[in-house]
Structure 1
């Protein structure tokens, strides 16, 4: 994705967005880690820091981007509270670090882990 201003043009890859989203999500209470986008076989594996792009999708649009992310949370946490917190933090950090407007953050909880 590209950002242009009076200084020039900056191209930001999806990997950069994924790293921002992954680091922000992992810093939020109740999140165990990022999960791969396709857990079709029912087995969810946690992603390492250098593979966050497997759990994040960024969809560009005319008036902003949509971030889709897959996470694993701690068993027993308040899911609405955790997802609100993640959504707010991801939106803020992506907008601050990249200059892109985040229209929506879609969070998929792919698993729970006991502490």
Structure 2
């Protein structure tokens, strides 16, 4: 949980807020099929349903009150993966900062699969 200090008190922002905002921002980008989750039992990458997008996002809280975000995605066939990832990085950083007021230090995108 990140705590933001204001003149009127303290605001706590939970992990669920960051993962939900991140998942929504990433899946709205062109070329993204959805969030990915690798099963521990069989090792297969699964496309997550919209209500379970947060499983594809990991948030790390840094000592300087910033967050680092790692997300796992599945992209559509035929897109330029590097361009899609750069787009996601910028969009996630902007949307998370705008909605929470917390600075995002890093956004790391892992492409786990490509849909055919």
Match of residue 104 from structure 2: 102
Q: How many pairs were matched up?
A: 113
Structure 2 unmatched ranges of 5 or more: none
Match of residue 62 from structure 2: 61
Instruction: Tell me the secondary structure at the aligned position of residue 16 of structure 1.
Output: helix
Instruction: Tell me the secondary structure at the aligned position of residue 35 of structure 1.
Output: strand
Q: Which structure dedicates a bigger proportion of its chain to strand?
A: 2
Match of residue 21 from structure 2: 20
Q: Aligned equivalents of 1:49 and 1:14: distance in 2? A: 17
- Structure 1 stretches of 4+ with a deviation exceeding 2 A read 38-42
Q: Aligned equivalents of 2:95 and 2:112: distance in 1? A: 23
TM-score, L = length of structure 2: 0.90
TM-score, L = length of structure 1: 0.91
Structure 1 unmatched ranges of 5 or more: none
Instruction: Tell me the secondary structure at the aligned position of residue 76 of structure 1.
Output: coil
